[in-house]
């Protein structure tokens, strides 16, 4: 899936306790969710559909429960 995230507004989890930029950031463009490493803001972006993002988030929550 090709999507341009160059002008996206990136955000970290509000649970992030770090100020050293060692987090995953996400941005939403249209129906796609981009994920990137905050240490490499110009690096690659993993692009997921909104459905895949929901499944990913649900799997993380289920694992932590």
- Condensed to tens digits (0 to 9), the pLDDT of residues 19-56 reads 666 788 999 998 899 999 988 889 999 999 999 999 99
16 versus 37: the higher-pLDDT residue is 37
Three-class SS state of 58? helix
Banded model confidence at residue 65, pLDDT cuts 50, 70, 90: low
Domain chopping of the chain, boundaries: 1-65
Task: Classify 52 as helix, strand or coil.
Answer: helix
Find out whether 16 and 6 touch, Cβ atoms under 8 Å. no
Return the structure tokens found at 52.
């895949």
pLDDT at position 1 is 60
Mean pLDDT, rounded, for 2-22: 79
Tokens of 39: 């240490």
pTM: 0.78
Q: Which residues contact 28 (CB under 8 A, 6 or more apart)?
A: 8, 34, 50
């Amino acid at each position: 899936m090709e999507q341009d995230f160059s002008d996206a507004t990136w955000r970290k989890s509000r649970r992030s306790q770090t100020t050293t930029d060692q987090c995953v950031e996400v941005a939403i463009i249209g129906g796609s969710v981009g994920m990137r490493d905050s240490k490499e803001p110009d690096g690659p972006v993993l692009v997921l559909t909104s459905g895949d993002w929901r499944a990913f988030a649900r799997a993380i929550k289920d694992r932590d429960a």
